[in-house]
């Protein structure tokens, strides 16, 4: 029961965060077009905000897709094979997805470390020094960990025994 509430809270937080990032992306795109083509000025800081919102929206949105089982699936033959073989196909896809998420977590850890040592190239006028790129690169790790947690929650649906398997 406690775990279910934690997962629901994480899902809700990820959904809200993704919506905020989508709104932020839309606003910065609109403001960028407006200032560039109407007022003939460019605001370079908008690029930083756009990149930030886009990359976080992608990784948190991917985690939500994993939670809802909307990620990659191979179903071209599912209607032509037996139910038992189809269950094994689903398990294989689950395990391959788990491997892919593991690779993403490894890349996320490396990206996190790299982000600590790199700084933003776009000048941010209101800061005294350029910020670290950790705010970009941490999205790989955070999104991948969310993907892993949501993927593990789905394991009971895939590997649980069905009534027909209990013979």
What was the pLDDT predicted at 57? Answer: 94
Tens digit of each residue's pLDDT (9 = 90 or more) over 69-102: 877 666 777 777 888 888 888 888 888 888 999 9
Give yes or no for a contact between 47 and 25, defined as CB atoms under 8 angstroms apart.
no
pTM of the model: 0.79
Tokens of 83: 């139910």
Rounded Cα distance between 24 and 158, Å, is: 36
pLDDT at residue 45 is higher than 80: yes
Distance set, CA 20 to CA 8, 14, 53, 97, 146 (Å): 18, 10, 8, 27, 18
pLDDT at residue 164 is higher than 60: no
């Amino acid at each position: 029961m406690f775990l279910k509430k934690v997962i629901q809270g994480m899902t809700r937080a990820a959904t809200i965060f993704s919506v905020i990032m989508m709104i932020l992306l839309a606003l910065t795109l609109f403001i960028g077009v407006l200032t560039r083509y109407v007022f003939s000025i460019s605001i370079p800081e908008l690029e930083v905000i756009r990149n930030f919102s886009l990359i976080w929206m992608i990784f948190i949105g991917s985690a939500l897709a994993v939670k809802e089982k909307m990620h990659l699936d191979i179903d071209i033959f599912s209607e032509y094979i037996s139910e038992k073989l189809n269950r094994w196909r689903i398990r294989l896809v689950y395990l391959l997805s788990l491997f892919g998420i593991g690779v993403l977590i490894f890349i996320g850890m490396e990206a996190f470390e790299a982000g600590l040592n790199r700084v933003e190239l776009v000048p941010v006028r209101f800061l005294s020094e350029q910020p670290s790129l950790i705010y970009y690169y941490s999205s790989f790790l955070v999104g991948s960990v969310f993907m892993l947690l949501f993927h593990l929650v789905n394991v009971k649906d895939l590997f649980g025994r069905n009534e027909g398997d209990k013979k």
